[in-house]
Amino acid sequence: MSKDGSPTKTISDFEAGLAKADANVASFAKDDRNLFYMMRGFLRAHPTTIPTLVLIVSVIAFGIIAPRFLTPLALSTVLQQVTVTGIIAIAQTLIILTAGIDLSVGAVLVVTSLIMGNLAVHMGVPLPFAVIIGMFFGALMGWLNGVLVAVIKLPPFIVTLGTLSIFTALKLWYSGSESVRNADIVEKAPGLLWFGEAFRFGGAKLTYGSISLVVVAVLVWFLLNRTAWGRHVHAIGDDPDAARLSGIRTRRTLISVYVLAGAICGFAGWVAIGRVGSVSPISFETVNLGSITAVVIGGTSLFGGRASIMGSVLGALIVGVFNTGLSLAGVDDYWQLFAAGTLVIIAVALDQWLRRASQ
């Protein structure tokens, strides 16, 4: 444009035509047609909002209807009861973020705790080595899942259904179906029980296991949200082909997710020994379903690409609050299962509704 407003086309004036064009770069449309859509957009962007609200509301509700629920002891007991499921749920969140699912988590946990128990109690291996070897085997089992999923390209559901049976067979063979007894652990390797130890203050009983749940959650949250690896995992979960085309080593990254999840299950094996006091080969057989329940209630999408570590911990807590709350309210055990099932279905319906927000 010339000073007097007359058009003066020169050879180097190519970009003059852009003067009236929109200077914004491409961006997602903000869906603010009304309050309802704005709320939906907000919830999509902040997945922990709903589980946080549900947790607060349910704690208050049970505080009103269940005697003794709002006491430090009761609330810290809930935390103890969900510790193992919570740690497993963190591992499960990693897998579900990649649009997978892991049915073998409980079997991995039991195999690793049997290895730790056997090494430390029956073979006199020093505790740190026993724990590290146990966690290594947890990672190894995760690696096997990862290779079958990422390299052989089998569906995660089928792979982990298979390895659930394989690891179950191994744990029964390895243990001869026998428990590592509490008395032997206390006598020979009391360090295995460390995560069952507790601080006590004002009636509350906070175990080191519960603290470890928070620590694991923070570490994994950091990995997922503050590292390049975490961005790659999100990308793979969202669209594996796009991730591959943009230069992410999808196979290697996917295997690393399963390895990390396996190692976390191994750590949960150590925490579980503290919780139960012995190592029984037939314990924790339903923790896989419990962990999936926690992840779903916590707002992680089963379709991959969107996960909330803190949400999964909250999900485990919600189930725990319902169980203890209903129990203290004098409700029969089977209604606790009923409540957990209802929560899962509501959570998935909500997830579907939020997904539609982006379409």
| Binding footprint of other proteins on the chain (CB under 8 A) | 67-68, 71, 73-74, 77, 80-81, 176-179, 181-183, 275-278, 280-286, 323-324, 327-328, 330, 332-333
Q: How far is the CB of 235 from other proteins (least distance, A)?
A: 38
Which lies closer to other proteins via its Cβ, residue 67 or residue 155? 67
Q: How far is the CB of 280 from other proteins (least distance, A)?
A: 5
Residue 279 φ/ψ, nearest 5 degrees: -120, 105
Which lies closer to other proteins via its Cβ, residue 75 or residue 254? 75
Q: Which residues pair with 201 in a beta bridge?
A: 204
Tokens standing for residue 20: 């009236």
Q: How far is the CB of 172 from other proteins (least distance, A)?
A: 9
Q: How does DSSP classify residue 303?
A: T
- How, if at all, do strands 198-201 and 204-207 pair? antiparallel
Which lies closer to other proteins via its Cβ, residue 85 or residue 256? 85
Which lies closer to other proteins via its Cβ, residue 181 or residue 251? 181
Task: Report d(CA 163, CA 104) in Å as an integer.
Answer: 6
Residues 335/340/342/346 CA torsion (nearest 10 deg): 160
Cβ within 8 Å of residue 193, ≥6 positions away: 185, 186, 273, 274, 277
Task: Report d(CA 287, CA 272) in Å as an integer.
Answer: 11
Which lies closer to other proteins via its Cβ, residue 52 or residue 327? 327
CB atoms within 10 A of CB 234: 18
Q: How far is the CB of 93 from other proteins (least distance, A)?
A: 22
Q: Is the CA virtual torsion 303, 288, 216, 46 positive or negative?
A: positive
Q: Which residues pair with 200 in a beta bridge?
A: 205
Which lies closer to other proteins via its Cβ, residue 281 or residue 298? 281
Q: How far is the CB of 205 from other proteins (least distance, A)?
A: 9
DSSP-assigned letters across all residues of 55-122? HHHHHHHHHHHSTTTTSHHHHHHHHHHHHHHHHHHHHHHHHHHTT---S-HHHHHHHHHHHHHIIIII
Q: How far is the CB of 62 from other proteins (least distance, A)?
A: 12
Q: Which residues pair with 206 in a beta bridge?
A: 199
Which lies closer to other proteins via its Cβ, residue 230 or residue 325? 325
Which lies closer to other proteins via its Cβ, residue 168 or residue 280? 280
Q: How far is the CB of 227 from other proteins (least distance, A)?
A: 35
Please name the helix (run of DSSP H) or strand (run of DSSP E) that holds residue 139, with its range, or none.
Answer: helix 127-150
Q: How does DSSP classify residue 315?
A: H
Q: How far is the CB of 301 from other proteins (least distance, A)?
A: 29
